[in-house]
């Protein structure tokens, strides 16, 4: 057996005496598709997990990553190293919960096999995102990525293209974008040609296409589906979102009302109004209360939802609300500078106070979270 050149060099240059070969499956394909409980410890158990995963889903690259980890383990053993191989998994949604589960599984393995170095085996960048978390548990000596060898024949390319077309046509996840959006555009375009409103219809088509790109790029459709789930938390999210958006929209007329249209000379152009510090300051001053309350309503809805679901993200949600409140005095003072021509140095006090409140809150919350985590572990 021949050990991977990079891995061998990394291992030889380290001082580790006991090595743990870790195969990372961050989205828990092993658990979801095979029902196997992780961590999977040992060569035979990993072989069984890889075989069952390959039988359940032959196209999943994670089974090859497990086999690669087993081969790396066998190569290390043949070279005389004291080693063990394990497969650890996260959760389907990835994120913080997945990373914490991976860290907890590695800790449980280290209770029985006291390794002082690790070799990470993964099939892509997503799994490797958890490496900094693993480094907090055990030193990472080397990282090995498994790259699948695929056929480059014309027949294989046709097969892949046919599979892609079938997925686009029959899979609702993809067809609504690849077929639905072009279908709407063609339908509206045809109506525009028939009715003669070509220029107007073109503007509508561009707007729809741009909106579709934005929705898909930022996963707005998935976010909306999660927000609008028919659960108590879903109704709370939906209510706070709609209320927040209404308040945000109301901030614009509130800002205009604070300026007072009757106070603006009739011969003053738009550019001159925008360049006038007093008008801009009055507009922002009238706008920010509604704007801040609207944004805060949405943030509080997210916080309340995560708190009800016992998700760890509620800590960052609390900090988000605190930061929003802390920034308000600075923005208010900025409008005073514009309206009353106050000194710019008057921004220093609210800036320092806002930063201090945010930093102190972050420190307290993080310490509290770590204390709870230590008690649980």
Tell me: the pLDDT tens digits for 145-193? Answer: 776 655 445 545 666 677 778 777 777 767 777 777 788 888 888 887 7
Distance, in Å, from the CA atom of 204 to the CA atom of 192, rounded to the nearest integer, reads: 10
Query: Is the pLDDT confidence value at 213 over 70?
Result: yes
250 pLDDT above the threshold of 70: yes
Condensed to tens digits (0 to 9), the pLDDT of residues 91-120 reads 887 788 888 999 999 999 999 998 989 999
The answer to whether residue 347 is domain-embedded is yes
Of 189, 214, 209, 211, give the one whose Cα is nearest residue 200.
189
Structure tokens at 346: 């008057």
The answer to whether the Cα torsion of 182, 186, 192, 193 is positive or negative is positive
- Range name among 86-100, 260-274, 287-301, 343-357 with the lowest pLDDT average: 260-274
Burial class (CB within 10 angstroms; exposed 0-12, middle 13-18, buried 19+) of 358: middle
Mean pLDDT of 186-202: 79
Residues 136 and 213 in one domain: no
- Rounded Cα distance between 260 and 56, Å, is 68
Domain end position, chosen among 202, 217, 232? 217
* Minimum mean pLDDT range among 42-46, 191-195, 231-235: 231-235
Residue 212 has pLDDT above 90, yes or no: no
Within-domain flag for 52: yes
Residue 151's pLDDT is 46
> Is the omega angle on the peptide bond into residue 93 within 30 degrees of 0, that is, cis?
no
Q: How far is residue 58's CA from residue 50's CA, in Å, rounded to a whole number?
A: 10
| Number of folded domains that form the chain | 3
3-state secondary structure of 20: strand
Lowest mean pLDDT: which of 111-125, 264-278, 286-300? 264-278
77 found inside a domain: yes
Element (H, E) at 285: helix 277-308
- Whether 313 and 239 share a structural domain: yes
Structure tokens at 171: 């899979």
User: Is 264 within the bounds of a domain?
Assistant: yes
CA pair distance 312, 369, nearest whole angstrom = 9
* Of the ranges 266-275, 303-312, 339-348, the best mean pLDDT one: 339-348
The pLDDT assigned to 86 comes to 95
- Choose the final residue of a domain: 145, 174, 197: 145
Residues 179 and 263 in one domain: no
Burial class (CB in 10 A: 0-12, 13-18, 19+), 242: middle
Predicted confidence band at 197 (pLDDT cuts at 50, 70, 90)?
confident
Read off the pLDDT of each residue in 220-236 and give the average, rounded to a whole number: 68
Let me know whether 296 and 171 are in one domain. Answer: no
Q: Which domain holds residue 183?
A: 154-217
| Cβ-based neighbours of 185, under 8 Å, separated by 6 or more | 205, 208, 209
Do 41 and 136 belong together in one domain?
Answer: yes
pLDDT confidence of residue 288: 93
Statement to judge: residues 58 and 104 lie in one domain: yes
Tell me what the mean pLDDT of segment 138-144 comes to. Answer: 88
Residue 121: which residues within 8 A CB-CB, separation 6 or more?
21, 22, 23, 24, 65, 68, 69, 72, 144, 145, 146
CATH value at residue 21:
3.40.50
pLDDT at 44: 94
Domain boundary among 199, 217, 235: 217
Reply yes or no on whether the pLDDT at 254 is more than 80. yes
What percentage of the chain has pLDDT greater than the value 90? 29
What pLDDT, on the 0 to 100 scale, is given for residue 258? 85
pLDDT average, residue stretch 234-253: 87
Q: Give me the pLDDT at residue 1, please.
A: 44
| Whether residues 105 and 35 fall in one domain | yes
Q: Name the residue among 51, 56, 81, 78 with its Cα closest to residue 66.
A: 51
Q: What is the mean pLDDT of the chain?
A: 82
Q: Does one domain contain both 140 and 167?
A: no
Would residue 374 count as lying in a domain?
Answer: no
Q: Measuring CA to CA, which residue among 87, 96, 191, 105 is closest to residue 146?
A: 87
Please write the tens of the pLDDT for every residue from 309-334.
766 566 788 888 999 999 999 999 99
Q: What CA–CA distance (Å, rounded) separates 117 from 15?
A: 8
Give the pLDDT of residue 103. Answer: 92
């Amino acid at each position: 057996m021949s050990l991977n050149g990079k891995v061998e060099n990394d291992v030889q240059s380290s001082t580790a005496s006991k090595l743990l070969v870790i195969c990372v499956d961050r989205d828990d394909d092993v658990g979801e598709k095979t029902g196997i409980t992780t961590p999977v410890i040992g060569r035979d158990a990993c072989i069984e997990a890889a075989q069952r995963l390959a039988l359940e889903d032959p196209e999943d690259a994670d089974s090859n990553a497990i086999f690669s980890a087993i081969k790396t383990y066998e190569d290390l053993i043949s070279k005389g190293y004291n080693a063990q191989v394990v497969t650890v998994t996260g959760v389907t949604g990835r994120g913080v919960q997945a990373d914490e589960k991976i860290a907890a599984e590695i800790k449980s393995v280290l209770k029985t096999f006291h390794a002082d170095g690790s070799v990470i085996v993964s099939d892509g960048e997503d799994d490797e995102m958890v490496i900094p978390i693993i480094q907090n548990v055990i030193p990472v000596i080397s990282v090995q990525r498994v790259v699948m060898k695929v056929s480059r024949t014309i027949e294989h390319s046709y097969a892949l293209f046919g599979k892609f077309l079938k997925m686009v046509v029959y899979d609702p996840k993809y067809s609504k974008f690849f077929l639905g959006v072009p279908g709407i555009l063609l339908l509206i375009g045809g109506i525009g040609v028939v009715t003669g409103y070509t220029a107007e219809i073109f503007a509508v088509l561009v707007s729809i296409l741009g909106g579709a790109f934005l929705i898909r790029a930022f996963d707005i459709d998935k976010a909306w589906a999660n927000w609008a789930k028919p659960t108590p938390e879903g109704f709370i999210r939906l209510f706070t979102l709609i209320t927040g958006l209404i308040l945000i929209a109301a901030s614009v007329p509130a800002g205009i009302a604070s300026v007072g249209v009757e106070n603006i000379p009739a011969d003053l152009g738009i550019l001159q109004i925008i360049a006038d510090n007093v008008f801009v300051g009055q507009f922002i001053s009238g706008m920010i209360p509604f704007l801040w309350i609207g944004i805060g309503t949405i943030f509080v809805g997210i916080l309340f939802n995560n708190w009800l679901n016992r998700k760890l993200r509620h800590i960052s949600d609390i900090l988000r609300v605190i930061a929003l409140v802390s920034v308000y005095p600075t923005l208010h003072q900025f409008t005073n500078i514009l309206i009353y021509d106050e000194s710019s140095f008057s921004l220093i006090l609210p800036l320092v106070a806002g930063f201090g409140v945010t930093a102190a809150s972050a420190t307290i919350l993080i310490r509290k979270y770590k204390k709870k985590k230590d008690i649980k572990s």
